[in-house]
Structure 1
């Protein structure tokens, strides 16, 4: 299976978020030629805060084209938004968080990439678009997008399609993992499964394991008294 791609998008110089002194690379622009993708991301794409962006488990951000219609309807002031508006490096029509699974491997150009985690929306989206509550609505709706790790670096040309080459975890949809992440009531069996989902970024697996361990300690303490 394959999908046409909007992108690659990148930001080669940091800009200030509107109304702040905070630098950001969220305002991506279409690359003007072929781009090299390595383990840390697209060559020339800047990262303002390495604590939350970039790195081996976050080399690329993907956001579905079709979600933009929802946001334009919900926020009329965002009538002009489209691909790259939310800081993604690539966008497609026909793939969303219900269909894409953690561990999915795609070939994009000469590179091979693997879905590593849901994207965690942050308040920079609100500032970038002067729209309070945008990131919160993204999180509650599950329209988060997702991130990749790079397995095989390579050249990405404009117009390169995205080809699905492997799906080792067909039940591990991005939406399922995100719901487990934000839902404090998820059961212990689900938490244990999420913590053991090997292709999932270690940051997420650690959080799931910590929640599960915390519950078990509370259960053990309750059994003593």
Structure 2
């Protein structure tokens, strides 16, 4: 079975909740997490998919996190965890839902040809509290972090267009061959997997902010506050 784009999503920033509430489920937040399916070919620039917006521009978006992809192979696991029968495309807030690829088979630095674009895997996605908010489940963010099934970010090497069912062709893979899953497991346990973290630092194509987080993680200085859901 070929690797392919099974769904494309973009979202607009919207406000949710109540500014006066202190409860997790009702507390005010802004996000473009709730994305709509694109049913036609879409243009992709250095900053991402046409029409897609970012609420938290400090932690998300930009040229190093221009496109967020998630593996459709994880959907059954997340549906079971959330106790729902099925999940809609874009359930994890991703732009591209991809079948045939998985965190264990996507490597840092990989270059993927999709449609007329060239995209490079720049880093794993770091799950934040908004995933838990979206699904009204305080444990969901940590579950994604623990399993390492986070999805991955692309930078855009060549602008172009992507369409539904486009094949994802791996045109180049970094010689270090550190998968997204390996990188996530190492980040979660830096003492046990320091060698993997040091190998990651040798990959020239990783995003600068990701490189900084790896360096801090090795030194025990990287906080995980972005995952807090209280």
Q: TM-score w.r.t. structure 1 length? A: 0.86
Match of 2:20 in 1: none
Is 1:128 the equivalent of 2:130? Answer: no
CA distance in 2, matches of 1:53, 1:212: 23
CA distance in 1, matches of 2:147, 2:29: 27
Count of residues in correspondence between the two structures: 214
CA distance in 2, matches of 1:209, 1:8: 33
- Name which of structure 1's ranges 2-11 and 138-147 shifts more when overlaid on structure 2: 2-11
Match of 1:63 in 2: 70
Match of 1:176 in 2: 182
**Alpha-carbon RMSD:** 2.1
- Give 1:142 shift: 1.1
Pick the aligned partner of 2:146 from 140, 143, 156.
Answer: 140
Match of 2:112 in 1: 106
CA distance in 2, matches of 1:136, 1:145: 14
Is 1:152 the equivalent of 2:158? Answer: yes
Is 1:50 the equivalent of 2:50? Answer: no
CA contact (8 A) 1:121 1:135 kept: yes
Correspondence list, 1:77-92, <5 A = 78-92=84-98
Q: TM-score w.r.t. structure 2 length? A: 0.85
- Name which of structure 1's ranges 109-118 and 193-202 shifts more when overlaid on structure 2: 193-202
CA distance in 2, matches of 1:12, 1:213: 37
Pick the aligned partner of 1:33 from 17, 27, 40.
Answer: 40
Correspondence list, 1:164-203, <5 A = 164-169=170-175, 171-186=177-192, 188-203=194-209
Match of 1:11 in 2: 11
- Give 1:2 shift: 4.4
Structure 2 gap segments, 5+ residues each: 18-24, 222-230
- Give 1:49 shift: 0.7
- Give 1:190 shift: 3.3
CA contact (8 A) 1:197 1:205 kept: no
Q: Deviations over 1:110-163 (max 9, x none)?
A: 110001111111110111111111010011011111111100011222332222
Structure 1 gap segments, 5+ residues each: 216-225
- Give 1:23 shift: 1.2
- Which protein is bigger by CA-based radius of gyration? 1
Structure 1 ranges of 4+ moved more than 4 A: 211-215
